[in-house]
C-alpha cells in the first residue's frame, strides 16, 4: 500500500531525521520525499512511501514525535472523487472528459452540474450524471443551496469550476474549504472580474494568460496553483484572444488539478507551495 504523508508548520531541527527514522522503523520504503523551508521558517514536506506496516501505528509514532503546531495528514494514494461545475463553455469540460474517458485524470468524475443545459449532450456521451440547476427564478442563496444538496449526494473530495461563470458566496465556499479549484481566464492579478479578454484587448497587452487557483472568499484572489500564457499581437480582437486563451485555460486547469489530486499542493497564507 502506498501512502502520502503531508506535513507543514514551523521548522525544527531534526524533523527530516525524525520522520525518516519512524518510517525506517516501520519498514517503509520512501519512494520520494520533497521538502521546503520558507525564508520565514515554515516547513513543508511531502513523503510518498510504501510498505506492509500499519498506517495507524505510523500515525501514532508521528503524533508522539512531532512538535505541537506541526500539521500532518496521512493519505492513502488513491483517486480523488470530484464534481465539475460548468456554465456554457465546453473547452475545459471537454478536456477533462476526454482525459477521464481514457483514465488520465487521477480522479473519478462523479457528476457535472451546470446552471445551463448547453453541455448536457456532451456529458451524456461519456455516461456521467448531469444536473441542470438553473439560477433563473431562484435567489443566489436558493441556487447555491440547490447545488449544495446535489453535492451532498456525491460528497466529492474536490469541486472543479471548469468555466463556471457565477460568483460563489462565502457561505457556499465554507462548505468546501480549500477544495474548490477554479480556472480564471486571465493572467491574475491582471484583469480581475468580468470580460478579461475585452479588458486585455483594450489595454493592448502582448501576452494573455490563464490562472488556476483555489477559491476563497474573495473572487479571483485565492491561492494560485498554475498559470500559463500565450503571445498575441495587434491583429487579435478580443474574440480572437478568447479563442486562443481557451487552449491555455484548459491546459492550465488540467495541470493544476493533477497537482492537487496528487496531494502536491500546500496552501500557506495566500500562496501555494508545490512539492
Cβ count within 10 A of residue 24? 11
Cα separation, 200 vs 74, in Å, equals 43
Q: Which of 61, 81, 106, 247 binds a copy of itself (CB under 8 A)?
A: 247
Cα separation, 130 vs 49, in Å, equals 37
Query: According to the binding rule CB under 8 A, does residue 59 interact with a copy of itself?
Result: no
Cβ atoms of residues 3 and 73 within 8 Å: no
Query: According to the binding rule CB under 8 A, does residue 65 interact with a copy of itself?
Result: no
Cβ atoms of residues 268 and 8 within 8 Å: yes
Query: According to the binding rule CB under 8 A, does residue 52 interact with a copy of itself?
Result: no
Write out the binding residues for a copy of itself, residues 136-195 only, by CB under 8 A: 187-191
Which listed range, 105-113, 122-130, 140-148, 160-168, lies at the site for a copy of itself (CB under 8 A)?
122-130
Query: According to the binding rule CB under 8 A, does residue 81 interact with a copy of itself?
Result: no
Q: Grid coordinates representing 58?
A: 505510523
| Site of grid cell 482525459 | 99
CA torsion sign for 219, 224, 228, 232 is positive
Q: Is 228 a catalytic residue?
A: no
Shortest approach of a copy of itself to residue 85 CB, angstroms? 19
Marked catalytic residue, from 220, 228, 247, 263: 220
Cβ nearer to a copy of itself, comparing 81 with 228: 228
Cα separation, 212 vs 77, in Å, equals 23
Q: Which of 2, 26, 77, 91 binds a copy of itself (CB under 8 A)?
A: 91
Cβ atoms of residues 22 and 62 within 8 Å: yes
Known catalytic residues are 220
Q: Which residues bind a copy of itself (CB under 8 A)?
A: 13-14, 16-17, 20-21, 24, 29-33, 35-39, 90-91, 94-95, 98, 101-102, 104, 122, 125-126, 187-191, 202-207, 209, 223-229, 233-235, 237, 243, 247, 251, 254, 270-274
Amino acid at each position: 500500500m502506498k501512502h502520502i504523508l503531508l506535513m507543514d508548520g514551523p521548522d525544527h531541527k531534526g524533523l527530516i531525521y525524525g520522520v525518516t527514522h519512524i518510517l525506517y522503523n516501520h519498514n517503509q520504503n520512501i519512494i520520494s520525499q520533497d521538502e521546503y523551508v520558507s525564508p520565514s521558517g515554515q516547513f513543508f514536506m511531502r513523503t510518498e512511501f510504501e510498505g506492509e506496516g500499519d498506517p495507524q501505528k505510523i500515525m501514532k509514532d508521528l503524533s508522539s514525535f512531532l512538535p505541537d503546531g506541526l500539521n500532518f495528514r496521512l493519505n492513502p494514494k488513491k483517486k480523488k472523487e470530484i464534481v465539475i461545475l460548468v456554465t456554457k463553455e465546453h473547452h475545459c469540460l471537454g478536456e477533462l472528459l476526454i482525459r477521464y474517458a481514457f483514465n488520465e485524470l487521477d480522479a473519478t468524475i462523479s457528476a457535472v452540474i451546470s446552471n445551463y443545459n448547453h453541455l448536457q449532450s456532451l456529458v451524456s456521451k461519456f455516461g456521467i450524471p448531469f444536473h441542470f440547476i438553473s439560477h433563473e427564478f431562484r435567489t443566489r442563496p436558493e441556487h447555491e443551496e440547490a447545488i449544495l444538496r446535489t453535492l451532498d449526494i456525491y460528497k466529492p473530495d474536490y469541486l472543479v469550476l471548469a468555466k463556471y461563470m457565477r460568483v460563489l458566496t462565502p457561505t457556499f465556499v465554507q462548505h468546501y474549504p480549500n477544495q474548490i479549484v477554479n480556472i480564471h481566464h486571465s493572467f491574475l492579478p491582471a484583469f480581475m472580474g468580468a470580460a478579461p479578454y475585452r479588458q486585455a484587448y483594450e489595454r493592448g497587452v502582448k501576452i494573455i494568460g490563464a490562472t488556476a487557483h483555489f477559491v476563497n472568499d474573495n473572487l479571483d484572489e485565492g491561492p494560485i496553483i498554475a498559470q500559463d500564457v500565450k503571445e498575441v499581437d495587434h491583429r487579435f480582437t478580443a474574440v480572437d484572444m478568447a479563442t486562443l486563451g481557451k487552449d491555455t485555460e484548459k491546459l492550465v486547469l488540467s495541470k493544476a488539478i493533477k497537482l492537487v489530486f496528487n496531494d502536491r499542493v500546500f496552501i500557506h497564507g495566500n500562496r501555494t507551495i508545490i512539492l
